[in-house]
Structure 1
Amino acid sequence: MAQFDMPLSDLEAYAPEIDEPADFDEFWSTTLAEARTFDEAPRVERIDVGLTEVVVDDVTFPGFGGHPVKAWLTRPAHVDGDLPVVVEYEGYGGGRGLPHEKIHWAAAGYAHLRMDTRGQGSGWGTGGDTPDPVGSGPATPGFMTRGVLDPHDHYYRRVFTDGARAVDAVRAVPGLDPQRVAVSGGSQGGGITIAVAGLVPDVVAAMPDVPFLSHYRRAVSITDNLPYGEITRFLSVYRDPAVEAQVWRTFSYLDGVSFARRARSAGLFSVALMDATCPPSTVYAAFNNWAPDQAEPVVKEMDVYPYNNHEGGGDYRFPRKLAWLGKII
């Protein structure tokens, strides 16, 4: 795959106006207020996975609709005092996996919550444990068009709410510092990271890698790759212009560009210039709209991988994130 999107100099200036509904803030404030009426404390159960320097808890917290959402919480053993926290969201089709798989944040002195994604976990990795009990109208296979004819019904309304509630959950766990919570994730997890930073703007940092779920119209117009291709497939079947208008109205409530405008935290992004799954212009659309009009400009940085597709920086990202977050948190 060659570099197919805009030249880098154009990407760095690309800050498009998008179709944002007038009631965007009301829609999401009402959504979160409804979710927070299910205010039971997260259930935290210590499990033995045979590790001596890291402890693991099986966490269940109420997400959208009070539905139980699972997560793994890892943290260093033998540590006193409240720990900073990294809440991580998974890529498309993946789940929280096994409890011993991601212990690098705990090994670095952080608490790490790895949130399961409702209804996912069977596409790659080692599985998930959180069902999505909500049904859907007509949809193409995948998650992008589940409930696509009404923003109240859309799958990502539930997932983004789960992501915000994951931050609420760690802030209620003893031994974790509620003032030092960062959010992170790649691809779908990067899109959830951006959404949560907009919905819970007092997180201290957001680290989205090759993020998905921003500038949907642009993505659909320049890539055939899934998952954005699920939208194309749906609209190729439902040809009625009224249906198309409703689809784009729904996605206007879910666009990472709008969430980026409401973020207030420091941000460390990454982009791959050969990425045909999450095109670079969609990533820069969110980055260039990140936390505008602050009295004091926030720290925001973009790491660019010119020769990579959707794998982006891969495992090169962790040392970079660790060093960057250490200066922020």
Structure 2
Amino acid sequence: MTNERSEPELLSYQGSSPKPADFDKYWERALAELDAQSLDYELVPAEFRSELAECFHLYFTGVGGARVHCKYVRPRMKGAERGRGLVMFHGYACDSGDWMEKVAYAAHGFSVLAMDCRGQGGLSEDNLAVQGTTIRGHIIRGIDDPDPDNLYYRNVFLDTAQTARILMSMPEVDPARVGAYGCSQGGALTVVCAALEPLIAAALPVYPFLSDYKRAWELNITTSAYEELNYYFRFFDPHHLREEEIFNRLGLIDIQNLAGRIQGKVLWVTGLMDSICPPSTQFAAYNKITAPKELLVYHEYGHEYLPYLADKALRMFMEL
């Protein structure tokens, strides 16, 4: 894509957006709130049926009291030992997806828990009340609220860790063999989940969103997943008097600032022609990972279907 860096430059790029001085304390406080959450959940048999797997709607109460929905699929034939687990996260404004992709993993012995993000295309509740604009995107939801705990993605990020902890608590799942997987927004949440729940053994983020917001804005991308940043400045700060303040606040929910916490192994997937989540924003996070990591580059591909990736993902998670 135009205005992007060369591949060698990408591999050394450390990001443009700031890391707030209180970032670590912010997330320590958030995780303390999460630790107080119950891991209780409700299972409701799903309308979808499979001879290979049992399918359920799973509900839990997230931080702030929101009712969070997941799809849960587990093998019908359970072994004597606890098996592998996989948490899945979906793209922006979508939902947890079809049952069939989870059944394919269940057929290989996985128990799969796929989370719906609050207030997007699935069944999870968004009960967040914030001051300021609540339209044209979730990145800016809560950005003008006096309390930074009211940023929309703070609670969604915590939901990812709670989802992983619930899966790890299940009697059929070995907590030491749980992976995380997602694309775009789901790729970002995969990074976050592995950062906030260090027991995640393997993570596969695919062209992740929610990274290096200032760089996305500098690229002047008004038709990408980051278009709401342009919208916000256009209507609420056209003279950019609050630019530094805004990007500092967004740094609290920037995945590049969480990536260094990951402890499990990572297979990071990116397309160098991505105009939706620009490669430099992705590399800002990838380059901060200190855990064992591997980069899989699709040179002629963007934010789209990537051939052979599903096969590579299964092979990776089968190694758990």
Question: If the length of structure 2 is used for normalisation, what is the TM-score?
Answer: 0.92
- Measure, in 2, the Cα distance between the counterparts of 1:308 and 1:180: 31
Q: Is the partner of 1:171 in helix, strand or coil?
A: helix
1:93 aligned partner: 93
User: Structure 1 309/257 Cα, relative in aligned 2: closer, same or farther at 3 Å?
Assistant: same
* Structure 1 unaligned spans of 5+: 122-127, 292-297
Give, in whole Å, the separation in 1 of the partners of 2:16 and 2:54: 46
Q: Is the 8 A contact 1:210 1:312 kept in 2?
A: no
Identity fraction in percent: 32
Amino acid at match of 2:62: G
1:310 is aligned to 303
Mapped to 2, the partners of 1:312 and 1:218 lie a distance apart of 25
Alignment correspondent of 1:270: 269
Pairwise CA RMSD: 1.9
**Cα distance in structure 2, aligned partners of 1:46 and 1:177:** 23
Scaled by the length of structure 1, the TM-score of the pair is 0.89
1:166 corresponds to: 163
2-side partners of 1:40 and 1:287: how far apart?
30
Query: 1:254 Cα shift?
Result: 1.0
Matched-pair contact (CA < 8 Å) for 1:144–1:227: no
16 and 282 in structure 1: CA distance in 2 versus 1, 3 angstrom threshold = same
Q: Which residue of 2 aligns with 1:206?
A: 203
Unaligned runs of 5+ in 2: none
Cα distance per residue 1:241-261 (max 9 Å; x no partner): 453333212211111111111
Q: How far did 1:62 drift?
A: 2.1
CA distance in 2: counterparts of 1:299 and 1:319, whole angstroms = 21
Q: Which residue of 2 aligns with 1:294?
A: none
Measure how far apart 1:156 and its partner are. 0.5
Q: CA deviation at 1:280?
A: 0.6
Q: CA contact under 8 A between 2:105 and 2:112: conserved in structure 1?
A: yes
**Structure 2 residue aligned with 1:323, among 310, 315, 318?**
315
Q: Given the superposition, is the C-alpha separation of residues 47 and 16 from structure 1 closer, same or farther in structure 2, using an over 3 Å criterion?
A: closer
Q: Secondary structure at the match of 1:253?
A: helix
Kept in 1: contact 2:116–2:123 (CA 8 A): yes
State the shift of 1:100 in Å: 4.1
Query: Deviations for 1:222-280, whole angstroms, at most 9, x for unmatched residues?
Result: 12233211011111112254533332122111111111111111001111111111001
How far apart are residue 196 of structure 1 and its match?
1.6
The correspondence of residues 1-329 of structure 1 with structure 2, limited to 5 A, is: 2=1, 4-16=3-15, 18-47=17-46, 49-80=48-79, 81-100=81-100, 102-121=102-121, 128-136=122-130, 137-150=132-145, 151-222=148-219, 223-239=221-237, 241-291=240-290, 298-311=291-304, 313=306, 316-327=308-319, 329=320
Structure 1 residue 101: Cα displacement: 5.2
Q: 1:295 maps to which residue?
A: none
Contact 1:272/1:312 (<8 A) preserved: no
Deviation at 1:57, TM superposition (A): 2.1
CA distance in 1, matches of 2:39, 2:104: 30
For 1:142 and 1:320, the matched residues in 2 are separated by: 32
Aligned to 2:150, the other structure's residue is in SS state coil
What SS does the corresponding residue of 1:27 show, helix, strand or coil?
A: helix
1:108 Cα deviation (Å)? Answer: 2.2
Contact in 2 for aligned 1:35/1:66 (Cα 8 Å)? no
